[in-house]
Chain A
Amino acid sequence: MARDNFTRLRDQFDWPLFIAAALIAVLGVVNLNSATSVYSGSRSELYVSQIQWLAVGGILGGVVLAFDYRHYERFGYVAYAFGVFNLVLVFMLAKDVRGAARSIPFGSFQYTPSEFMKLFLVIALAKYLHDDPRNEGRTLKDLFVPALLTAVPAFLILKQPDLGTATILILVFLTIAVLTRIRWRSALLFVGSAVPAGYIFYNFGTHGYQQARIQAYLNPEADIKGIGYHAHNARIAIGDGGLLGTGFMRGTQNQFGFIPDQYTDFPFPVFAEEWGFAGCVVLLALYGFLTVWSIHVASQAKDRFGAVLAVGAAAVIFWHAVINLGMAAGVVPVVGVPLPLFSYGGSNMLTMLGAVALVMNVSMRRYGTVPAPDRL
C-alpha cells in the first residue's frame, strides 16, 4: 500500500497545479519583501513569517491531500457546523481591530474563522449537491437549502463586519449554482430579484464606511485625500509601472508610503509598479491557469462531490483574485479581500493552500477505478 501511495504521488501528482500555485506564492514572498522594505523592525521581516506560513500550509495541504476527498464528504456538515460555531465564537472572543472584529487570539496567533469557513462552505455545498443528483432542471426552490447554507455564515461574517468575505461566500455559492442545471426561468427570476435585493441590502444592510467605499468606487476622483485615497494611489502605482516596471524595490508609490495595507490588501499595486504590465500578465496568467485548470480537474472528477469541491475551491481562489486585482485596478469597490497565495496573512494562506490541496486531491483521485472508501 505504501508503494501504491508513492507511485500515485509520482504519477498522478498534479504538477501543473502545484507549479502554478508555487510560482504565485514565490512571487508573493518576493513582493512582500519589497512591500515591507519601507518599514523598519519586525514588519520588514514579514516575508520570513510568510515563508513559515507557506511551510505550515504545505504540510497541512499534504495532510488534506493524504485523505481521499471522499472522506470529507461524510464530515461535510460536521465541518460546516464547526465553522459556523467558530463564527459565533468570534462575537464573543474577537478583539476590535480598526472597527471590525474578525480574529480570535490564539496564543501569539490570530485565528480567523471566516477564512476557513470558505472551505467548509464549499465542502457542505458539494455534499448537498452530491446527495441531490438531478437530471431535470432545478427551480429556485431546489436551491433553497444550499442558499441557506451560504446565508448563515455570510450573515455572521457580514456582522463582524466583513463585507468582502461575505461577498466571496455568496459569489462562491453562485458559481456552484451555475454548475447546476437551473431552469432558465428560475435563473431570470433570480437575476430579476437580485437587483431590488441588492438595493435594499445597500440601504439597510451596509455600514456607512462600506457605502462610502462604494461611492468612492463610483466616483473615483471625488475624494482622493479621504475615502478614495487607497484606490487612487493604487491606480497610480499600477500605472506608474508602465510596460516593464520600475524594478524591484524601486516603485516610488510604495517606497514613499503611498500604498497603505501594501502587504495585506494592496500587494498587487506594489507588484504592478515594480514589474510593470509584463509582470502583471505573468501573474494574471498564473491565476488564470490555476483556476481554469481547477475547473478542468473538476470536469474530470469521478463524482459529483469531487466536481463541486474542485469548482468551489477554484471559485474561492478566483473570486479572491478578481476582487483584489479589481479593486486595485479600480474596477471593483474597495473591500478588504486578500490576493490568494500572494497577500500576507496566516489564516488566508492556509485557506488558499487548503483550496489548492482540495483541487489536487480531486485531481489525484480521478484516475483508475479506485473505489470510494467505505470507512475512515
Chain B
Amino acid sequence: VSFPGLSGGGIRLAGEGGRADTGEFKRRFQWIALGMVLVFLGLGARLFELQVVEHDDHRAAARENIVRRVTLATTRGIIRDRTGKTLAASRPAYNIYVVPSRLDMQNVWPRLVEYLRMGPAERAEKEKEILDMRAEDNKRKDQQYLLKEDISRDAVADIKTHERELVTVTPRGKDLVAVELVPVPVRYYPYEEVGAHVLGYMAEVDADKLSKLHASGYVEGDRAGVTGVERSWESYLRGTRGWEKVLVDAKGTRRSGHDDIIDEPKRSEPIPGRDLRLTLDADVQKALEKAFRGELAGGVVMVDVRTGRILGMYSKPTFDPNVLSGGSGKAVIKAAFHRLYTDPLKPLLDKTVSGAYPPGSTFKPFTALAALEKGLVDPRAMQQCRGAITFGKRLYRCTHVHGPVDLHKAIAESCNVYFYNLAAPEEGGGGAVGMDIIAEMALRYGMGTKTGISINAEASGRMPTRAWMTLHNHGHYTLGFGLNAAIGQGATTVTVLQLALAYAALANGGTLYQPQLVRAVETSNGTVVQEFTPRVRRQIDINPQNLKLVQKALEAGVTAEGGTALLAYNNSGLRELGIDVAGKTGTAQVTHHRDSSLDDEKSWYFNRDHALFASYAPVRSPEVAVVAIVEHGGFGGKHAAPIAFEAVRAYQQYVRTPHSAKAAARDGAAPKPARKPPGRPARGHGGP
C-alpha cells in the first residue's frame, strides 16, 4: 500500500518550471520577517512601558478598583437628665431600598408590598414610580431607590425572615439582590414634646452647610443637631466615624480573604459620641408641662439659686422632636415643619430664651433696689395711691386704689403709683430715680444682656437708657419713659431666663450665676470626662438691709394678706407642705395692634397682656428661683403664679432632700443610668 502523498513522479513539476520558481519572493521573506520582529519588539516596548515604567500607576489603579474604604458608623451620645434618665438617645431604624431594574415585579414586588403593609394607594404610587424608572433609559434604574423610610418593626422582622424570597432570580438562574434593608440610627426622644426646645432636634445637613462641614467629617445624609443642646453640643455628641478598608469585586460584592493585599492601616475604629448629663430633671420637666396644660403659650424656667443650674425649662407650644429628627420620611418632616411655621403661637420659638418680654411688675424689686441703693427713697415714707397719677399731659394708671403705701406694700401689692412717683422728678427737678439708674441696677442683675446659656438663639432683652430712648424717639426724650421703665413697661424687655437668674441673685444675696445646662460630659461607659462647676458671672454689691427689705416685700407678695399671688399660693397646697415662696406677679402690656388677618377671637387673644410671675423658694433658705410667663394670659397672679407654684411643688417632690440626697449618692457612684433597674426609689415622699 503506497501512501499517496509520498509517491508519484515529478511530471507536472518538470513541465511547469515557473511554478517552482520562488525567485519573485526572494528577499521579501526577510522584509516580512524583519517587519514581524519589529512589530513584536514594538509590542514588547509597549509592555515595558505599561509594566515597568508605569507600573506604580497601574498598581494603584488596580488597588483602587478593589479596595473600598467603608465608613464605620459611630453612635451619637446619649443625653440624660440630672438623675440619669434618658432624654435623647439613638434607636435603630430601617430604611428599605430597591434597585428598580433588578426588581422582579411579578414575584418579589407583591411580597414586598405585603411585608411593608402598604395600602393600595401607596402601592400604586410606588409601583408607578418604579415602573417609570425601569422604562427610562438611564442609570437611575440600576441605582438604589429609597422605597420607604423607618419601616415598622414587624416589617423589618418579615423582611429579615423572608430574605430569600425577595431575591430576584434571573432566567439564567443568577440571584440578584434587588431589595436591601439598611439600618439607620434615628434620634429618639422618650419624653417627646416635653423640653423639646432645650434638647433641640436633628436634621439632615443640607448641601450648603455640608460644604462648610465637610472638613469636620460630615457626609451627605448626615444628621446634625439644629437647635438646643443637640446643636450646641453637637461636636461632643456626634462622635467620630471609623473606617475600614474592604475588598470588593467588579460587581461591588464584598470579598473576604486576600487581606494581605490591603495596605496598612486597614481600619480606624469609630469613636462613640460623648454622653451628656444635664442639670435638668425629667420629672420636673414633666410637671412643668402638666402645669402649663391650661394655657396656650408661654414659658417657665426653674434655676437652682445656689448654682445657676437649670432644673426645668419649658416652652409652650412645643413640638415633637421625634417627628422632626426622625426617619419617618422627608414628606412627614416637611409637613410637620409647615404646620409649625404657620402656627401663630410660634411653637419653634423657645420662649424661655429667645423671647423677650416686658417684665412688667416683676421688675419693681429692681427699681426699688436702684432707689434704695442711691438713697433716693425712704422705704418707710408713705405715699398716697389714688389709682392713677397725671404726669405731663398723660394719665398713668395703677391697678386699683391702694391708699397709703410704703415700699414694702408697693411691691407686695404691686402699686404702680408708688413707682411712678419714684421715677417722677420732684418739683424743681432732682431726686428722681431716672431711667439710667434703673437700667444700671437691672444690668447688674444680668437683665438686658445675654446670659450665655449657649443654646438656641438667645435674645438679649433691652434695658433702655435715656440716651437710647432719645435716639429711638426722633431725638426727644420724655420723662414719661422713665415712669414706664420704673414698672418694667415700655421699651424694657427681658427673657424669662434672665429674670429667673436675677431673682436667683435676689434670693441668694447677690450672686449672679452663669446659667448651666450641662453638668458633665461622660464617655459611653459612664466615666465622667469633664464636670462643669457652677460659674459666677458677678457678685452684686448690694446693701444687705436694702435687699432684706425687698425680700420681705416679695415674701409678703405671696404669703401675706393683700399679696398679689396670695390666692394662687393658697390654692397651690404649698402652705400645707410647709414651703413658703417669695415672688412678684407681673402683667406685661402688649402693644395693641389689630391684624386684619386675624378673626375677632384671635385678635382678642393676641391683644391680651402677658401674665408673669417671678419667684424663689423657700423663703428662709432659698433653693430655686422660678419664673413663668403665660403669653396673653392676662393677670400674672391668676395665670402665671399657679404654674410657678406647681414647679416648686415638683421641685419639692422630685429634687429636694431626702430624695435628692439619694440621687446625689447615686450620682457620686456614677452608675450607668440606662442600666438602672426600673424600680427607682419611690417618688414624692420627701420634704419636711
| Chain A contact residues, CB within 8 Å of chain B | 1-2, 4-5, 66-68, 70-71, 130-131, 133-135, 175, 178-181, 233, 235-243, 252-253, 255-258, 272, 276-277, 280-281, 284-285, 287-288, 291-292, 295-296, 298-299, 301-305, 307-308, 311, 314, 318, 322, 325-326, 329-331, 370-376
Partner of A253, one of B29, B37, B65, B258: B65
B669 interface residue per 8 A CB criterion: no
Known: A281-B44, A322-B43, A325-B43. A235 touches B58 (CB 8 A): yes
Most buried by A among B36, B37, B54, B66: B36
Q: Tell me how far the C-beta of B363 lies from the nearest C-beta in chain A, rounded to whole angstroms.
A: 70
Q: Is the CB of B33 within 8 A of A322?
A: no
Given the complex of chains A and B, what is the CA–CA distance between A1 and B40 in angstroms? 42
Q: Give 1 or 0 for each of B17-43: 1 = CB within 8 Å of chain A CB.
A: 011111111001111110111011011
14 example contacts (A-B, Cβ-Cβ < 8 A) are as follows: A133-B21, A133-B24, A179-B25, A238-B47, A239-B57, A240-B58, A240-B59, A281-B44, A291-B36, A304-B19, A314-B32, A329-B43, A329-B47, A373-B5
Q: CB-nearest residue of chain B relative to A74?
A: B12
Enumerate the 3 nearest inter-chain pairs by beta-carbon distance, A residue then B residue, closest first.
Answer: A239-B58, A371-B10, A68-B5
Given the complex of chains A and B, what is the CA–CA distance between A318 and B43 in angstroms? 12
Q: CB-nearest residue of chain A relative to B51?
A: A277
Given the complex of chains A and B, what is the CA–CA distance between A296 and B30 in angstroms? 8
Q: Tell me how far the C-beta of B29 lies from the nearest C-beta in chain A, rounded to whole angstroms.
A: 4
| Stretch of B115-123, B145-153, B195-203, B244-252 on the interface side | B244-252
Partner of B52, one of A130, A243, A284: A243
Given the complex of chains A and B, what is the CA–CA distance between A307 and B33 in angstroms? 13
Q: CB-nearest residue of chain B relative to A138?
A: B24
Known: A180-B28, A235-B58, A305-B19. 18 other contacts (CB 8 A): A233-B65, A237-B62, A252-B258, A253-B65, A256-B249, A258-B62, A280-B44, A295-B36, A299-B30, A307-B22, A308-B25, A314-B32, A318-B39, A322-B39, A331-B42, A370-B6, A373-B7, A374-B12
Q: CB-nearest residue of chain B relative to A310?
A: B29
Q: Is the CB of A133 within 8 A of B18?
A: yes
Q: Is the CB of A4 within 8 A of B25?
A: no
Q: CB-nearest residue of chain A relative to B67?
A: A252
Most buried by A among B2, B13, B50: B50
Q: Given the complex, which residues of B lie within 8 Å of A296, measured CB to CB?
A: 29, 33
Q: CB-nearest residue of chain B relative to A376?
A: B4
Known: A71-B5, A302-B20, A372-B10. A175 touches B51 (CB 8 A): no
Given the complex of chains A and B, what is the CA–CA distance between A340 and B50 in angstroms? 22
Q: Given the complex, which residues of A lie within 8 Å of B255, measured CB to CB?
A: 256
Given the complex of chains A and B, what is the CA–CA distance between A322 and B5 in angstroms? 35
Most buried by B among A291, A302, A371: A371
Q: CB-nearest residue of chain A relative to B251?
A: A257
B261 interface residue per 8 A CB criterion: yes
B11 interface residue per 8 A CB criterion: yes
B46 interface residue per 8 A CB criterion: yes
Known: A178-B32, A179-B25, A295-B32. A277 touches B47 (CB 8 A): yes
Q: Is the CB of B247 within 8 A of A135?
A: no
Q: Tell me how far the C-beta of B658 lies from the nearest C-beta in chain A, rounded to whole angstroms.
A: 68
Q: Given the complex, which residues of B lie within 8 Å of A2, measured CB to CB?
A: 3
Q: Is the CB of A299 within 8 A of B29?
A: yes
Partner of A374, one of B11, B18, B58: B11
| Chain B contact residues, CB within 8 Å of chain A | 1-13, 18-25, 28-33, 35-37, 39-40, 42-44, 46-48, 50-52, 54-55, 57-59, 61-63, 65-66, 247-251, 255, 258, 261
Q: Is the CB of A371 within 8 A of B8?
A: yes
Given the complex of chains A and B, what is the CA–CA distance between A305 and B258 in angstroms? 56
Partner of B36, one of A71, A235, A288: A288
Q: Given the complex, which residues of B lie within 8 Å of A285, measured CB to CB?
A: 40
Partner of A178, one of B8, B31, B66: B31
Q: CB-nearest residue of chain A relative to B57?
A: A239
Q: Is the CB of B62 within 8 A of A240?
A: yes
Q: Is the CB of B50 within 8 A of A239?
A: yes
Given the complex of chains A and B, what is the CA–CA distance between A235 and B65 in angstroms? 13
Q: Is the CB of B4 within 8 A of A373?
A: yes
Q: CB-nearest residue of chain B relative to A233?
A: B65
Given the complex of chains A and B, what is the CA–CA distance between A235 and B61 in angstroms? 10
Q: Given the complex, which residues of A lie within 8 Å of B5, measured CB to CB?
A: 66-68, 70-71, 373, 376
Q: Given the complex, which residues of A lie within 8 Å of B57, measured CB to CB?
A: 239
Partner of B6, one of A284, A302, A373: A373
Known: A280-B44, A292-B33. A256 touches B50 (CB 8 A): no
Q: Given the complex, which residues of A lie within 8 Å of B59, measured CB to CB?
A: 239-240, 242
Q: Given the complex, which residues of A lie within 8 Å of B50, measured CB to CB?
A: 235, 238-239, 329-330
The binding surface of chain B is classed by DSSP as: helix
Q: Is the CB of A284 within 8 A of B25?
A: no
Q: Given the complex, which residues of B lie within 8 Å of A233, measured CB to CB?
A: 65
Known: A295-B36, A374-B9. A301 touches B22 (CB 8 A): yes
Q: Is the CB of A253 within 8 A of B20?
A: no
Partner of A295, one of B19, B29, B63: B29
Q: Is the CB of A258 within 8 A of B51?
A: no
Q: Is the CB of B58 within 8 A of A236?
A: yes
Q: Is the CB of B66 within 8 A of A256?
A: yes
Q: Tell me how far the C-beta of B58 lies from the nearest C-beta in chain A, rounded to whole angstroms.
A: 2
Q: Given the complex, which residues of B lie within 8 Å of A258, measured CB to CB?
A: 62, 65-66, 249-250
Q: CB-nearest residue of chain A relative to B55?
A: A242
Given the complex of chains A and B, what is the CA–CA distance between A257 and B254 in angstroms? 12
Partner of A243, one of B4, B51, B249: B51
Given the complex of chains A and B, what is the CA–CA distance between A71 and B21 in angstroms? 18
Q: Is the CB of B36 within 8 A of A292?
A: yes
Q: CB-nearest residue of chain A relative to B14?
A: A371
Partner of A371, one of B1, B9, B24, B52: B9
Q: CB-nearest residue of chain B relative to A260?
A: B250
Q: Is the CB of A5 within 8 A of B51?
A: no
Known: A326-B43, A373-B6, A373-B8. A303 touches B24 (CB 8 A): no
Q: CB-nearest residue of chain A relative to B247?
A: A256
Partner of A239, one of B10, B29, B35, B54: B54
Q: CB-nearest residue of chain B relative to A241?
A: B51
Q: Is the CB of B44 within 8 A of A1?
A: no
Q: Tell me how far the C-beta of B225 lies from the nearest C-beta in chain A, rounded to whole angstroms.
A: 38
Q: Is the CB of B4 within 8 A of A67?
A: yes
Q: CB-nearest residue of chain A relative to B48?
A: A277
Q: CB-nearest residue of chain A relative to B255?
A: A256
Q: Is the CB of A131 within 8 A of B19?
A: yes
Q: Is the CB of A288 within 8 A of B37?
A: yes
Q: CB-nearest residue of chain A relative to B21?
A: A133
Q: Is the CB of B25 within 8 A of A1?
A: no
Q: Is the CB of B65 within 8 A of A372?
A: no
Q: Is the CB of B62 within 8 A of A304?
A: no
Q: Is the CB of A298 within 8 A of B24?
A: no
Known: A233-B65, A329-B46. A134 touches B24 (CB 8 A): yes
Q: Tell me how far the C-beta of B519 lies from the nearest C-beta in chain A, rounded to whole angstroms.
A: 52
Given the complex of chains A and B, what is the CA–CA distance between A256 and B20 in angstroms? 56
Q: Tell me how far the C-beta of A261 lies from the nearest C-beta in chain B, rounded to whole angstroms.
A: 13
Q: Is the CB of B249 within 8 A of A181?
A: no
Q: Given the complex, which residues of A lie within 8 Å of B258, measured CB to CB?
A: 252, 255
Q: Tell me how far the C-beta of B258 lies from the nearest C-beta in chain A, rounded to whole angstroms.
A: 7
Given the complex of chains A and B, what is the CA–CA distance between A67 and B37 in angstroms? 31
Partner of B261, one of A252, A281, A318, A322: A252
Q: Given the complex, which residues of B lie within 8 Å of A331, measured CB to CB?
A: 42-43, 46
Q: CB-nearest residue of chain B relative to A251?
A: B62
Given the complex of chains A and B, what is the CA–CA distance between A303 and B37 in angstroms? 25
Q: Is the CB of B7 within 8 A of A130?
A: no
Q: Given the complex, which residues of B lie within 8 Å of A292, measured CB to CB?
A: 33, 36-37
Q: Given the complex, which residues of B lie within 8 Å of A298, measured CB to CB?
A: 25, 29
Given the complex of chains A and B, what is the CA–CA distance between A281 and B50 in angstroms? 13
Q: Given the complex, which residues of A lie within 8 Å of B44, measured CB to CB?
A: 280-281, 284
Q: Given the complex, which residues of A lie within 8 Å of B62, measured CB to CB?
A: 236-237, 239-240, 252-253, 258
Given the complex of chains A and B, what is the CA–CA distance between A2 and B7 in angstroms? 11
Q: Tell me how far the C-beta of B256 lies from the nearest C-beta in chain A, rounded to whole angstroms.
A: 12
Q: Tell me how far the C-beta of A271 lies from the nearest C-beta in chain B, rounded to whole angstroms.
A: 11
